Structure 1
Amino acid sequence: MPPAESPRLSRRMALLLPTALIACARPGAAQRGLPDFADLAESVLPAVVSIQVTSRERAGPLERRDTPQERRRGGHLVQGAGSGFIIEPSGIIVTNGHVVGNATRVQVTTQNGTEYVARVLGADDLTDIALLKITPQAPLAAVSLGVSANMRVGQWVMAAGNPFGLGGSVTSGIISARGRDIGAGPFDDFIQTDAPINPGNSGGPLFNLSGEVIGINTAIYSPSGASAGIGFAVPSDLARPVVEALIRGGRVDRGWLGVSVSDAEEQGRHQRGAVIMGVERGSPAARAGLRQGDLVTALNGEPVVTSRALVRGVAGLPPGETVRLTLTRGGRSQEIAVQIGRRPNEG
């Protein structure tokens, strides 16, 4: 299956559609040399699942677009594959949002070959995280989210998943870097790893040597579309509150101002911050009196040094909360109170 490309990323930054790695080491293995992942893989693989997705896509091959058959069916069916992991024995599964987006049918296969039809509990576009629910007859093996902040560059990790639709596979490597921004969105804070990750691994877990999930494999950097030793995972510390919110209510309420912004430096300003390039009519920003050209320098007293920082800061706030924006207008600094709204696509 060809690698999926994210429209928000560069052409060499591919989102994964099947993959995951698992690693396990015996106590003291690191002191004796390279870790042995056999025990870890054996213990966590039962909680790793393969995901097969059927979705209806209107933008089909040119010869099929706008044909009577396509209009009657509402588009053509496409198949996709990905990975996920069980976090609740009752059958709650974490995966990537882009794996199950626009799905008309989602099938989950566990390591013992049992197949389930899954429903999507909810998804968060900004972090590319989605939850699935299956209904098992008995409790399933599950894994837990660890603390990604404790992970250090150079430490061993293991990935597990469904590369190229082959089913449960594990690979290992190290953490190459932390806090990577790959241009996917305002919440970019990826763990970079050299553990081989390939198309189909999307949504699969990245484990520490204790068997805890410290990342969700999401993207690779690859000129060819296959693994080039540069993979990216959403850190568990970022995923945890999203997962909890999706379990509670099936969505993540994100704050929204209703402005388009740009970095001050890109606009030739000599001060760091976010320049408001446009204000949506009827938005929270419009009601508060924000204007095109305003330079936002702080949010609730915290410095805003880039446009991304402003978007991320606002998105992380609950709708309805009133915040203080410090801005420069006409060479003068002032504060404006804004009541945060809800992102339109959140309902």
Structure 2
Amino acid sequence: MSAAATPSLLVGLSAELSDLVGRVAPSLVAVRSPRSRASGFTWQPHLIVTAEEALADDGEISVDLPDGSTAAAAIVGRDPSTDIALLRVEAALQPATLSAPALAAGGLVVAVGSAQGQPLAALGTVAQSGPAWRSLRGGSIDARIELGLTLRREAEGGLVVDANGHAFGMVVFGPSRRVLVIPTGTIERVAAMLRIDGRIARGYLGLGLHPISLPDGGTGVMIMSVAADGPGAAAGLLQGDVITGWNGRSIETLRAVQQDLGSDSIGRTVALSLRRAGADLQVTLTVAERPSP
């Protein structure tokens, strides 16, 4: 490669990347809530998707629009288990076109957020692309996509675009500040339910649980409280019982139990292994829907 050719390649790559950012920028907004700054994108007319964890629990929310103006926003619904929140604004915005391309580790991507209504971009790669998984809060995510890039906090909730210009999900922070993608399939499914119900149904045991170590070296969860009208009470569980098994599996952590209580768990029968006053018991429990707060 000649010395003269190298700058042309770099200039061409730079122009292509700027073009990718420019194509999605009209759909992006900066999201402001008390003590928090993030990004979001227009999912449907007047509806904006953003990162749930980036929203404050209370207080007014506003968005900085691509034309430099600011509009008030209202929360339609939020789902901590998939890190998706849906906002409503009265402003007319351009909805993003989401796709679900095949992704492979090493592919170039651009994460695009918004700061004060202006595009905020970061270049990186697909570090990992894997199958569906459950979040630490039990949400079902259609694919595990981890990015190799440095993301500014206010860009969380923005779009991720591949080298072909396809926006394939929302960029968020995962555990240990890993940069993850909530893919298109998850966004479409969860945002549609939030638009209708304002929430995502979760499984409910009606039990207050605390992790403990068992005398034999294993782990379990002790029942600290039993809701009078909950599934645990209906199954005959008592305060002080220790759950040692869940559908034939040993219980490694309380978080593992919580992850099994996604929306698909409602109505499912679970076989529990119990230890009560030194005796081992087997009990079946039917998971209910968690009551609205």
Match of 1:146 among 84, 92, 99: 99
Q: C-alpha separation between the residues in 1 aligned to 2:215 and 2:124?
A: 42
Matched, 1:85 2:47: no
- Higher RCO, Cα 8 Å, sep 6+: 1
Matched, 1:168 2:119: yes
Offset at residue 221 of structure 1 (A): 4.3
The letter for the 1-side match of 2:173 is T
Aligned to 2:227: 281
TM-score where L is the length of structure 1: 0.65
**1:285-319 CA deviation, whole Å, 9 max, x = no partner?**
12212352122332xx8997654343222232375
Sort the Cα spacing of 1:106 and 1:269 in 2 relative to 1 into closer, same or farther, 3 A. Answer: same
Q: How does 1:2-151 map to 2 (within 5 A)?
A: 36-53=16-33, 55=34, 79-88=35-44, 90-136=45-91, 138=92, 140-147=93-100, 150-151=102-103
Sort the Cα spacing of 1:145 and 1:340 in 2 relative to 1 into closer, same or farther, 3 A. Answer: farther
Sort the Cα spacing of 1:296 and 1:131 in 2 relative to 1 into closer, same or farther, 3 A. Answer: same
The letter for the 2-side match of 1:96 is A
Offset at residue 281 of structure 1 (A): 2.9
Q: C-alpha separation between the residues in 1 aligned to 2:136 and 2:114?
A: 23
Sort the Cα spacing of 1:234 and 1:263 in 2 relative to 1 into closer, same or farther, 3 A. Answer: farther
- Cα RMSD over matched residues? 3.8
Which sections of structure 2, spanning at least 5 residues, go unmatched?
1-8
Sort the Cα spacing of 1:161 and 1:327 in 2 relative to 1 into closer, same or farther, 3 A. Answer: same
Secondary structure of the residue aligned to 1:200 is helix
Offset at residue 270 of structure 1 (A): 6.8
**1:191-218 CA deviation, whole Å, 9 max, x = no partner?**
3212220121222222333422323323
Q: C-alpha separation between the residues in 1 aligned to 2:160 and 2:216?
A: 41
TM-score where L is the length of structure 2: 0.75
Secondary structure of the residue aligned to 2:261 is helix
Larger Rg: 2
Q: C-alpha separation between the residues in 2 aligned to 1:41 and 1:285?
A: 51
Offset at residue 109 of structure 1 (A): 1.8
Aligned to 1:71: none
Matched, 1:313 2:266: no
The letter for the 2-side match of 1:171 is A
**1:302-341 CA deviation, whole Å, 9 max, x = no partner?**
997654343222232375x2x2212223576745142413
The letter for the 2-side match of 1:294 is I
Kept in 1, the 8 Å contact 2:210–2:224? The answer is no
Q: C-alpha separation between the residues in 2 aligned to 1:144 and 1:312?
A: 31
Q: Runs (4+) of structure 1 moved beyond 6 Å?
A: 32-35, 179-183, 301-305
Aligned to 2:246: 297
More strand by proportion, 1 or 2? Answer: 2
Sort the Cα spacing of 1:145 and 1:310 in 2 relative to 1 into closer, same or farther, 3 A. Answer: farther
Which sections of structure 1, spanning at least 5 residues, go unmatched?
1-28, 56-78, 223-229
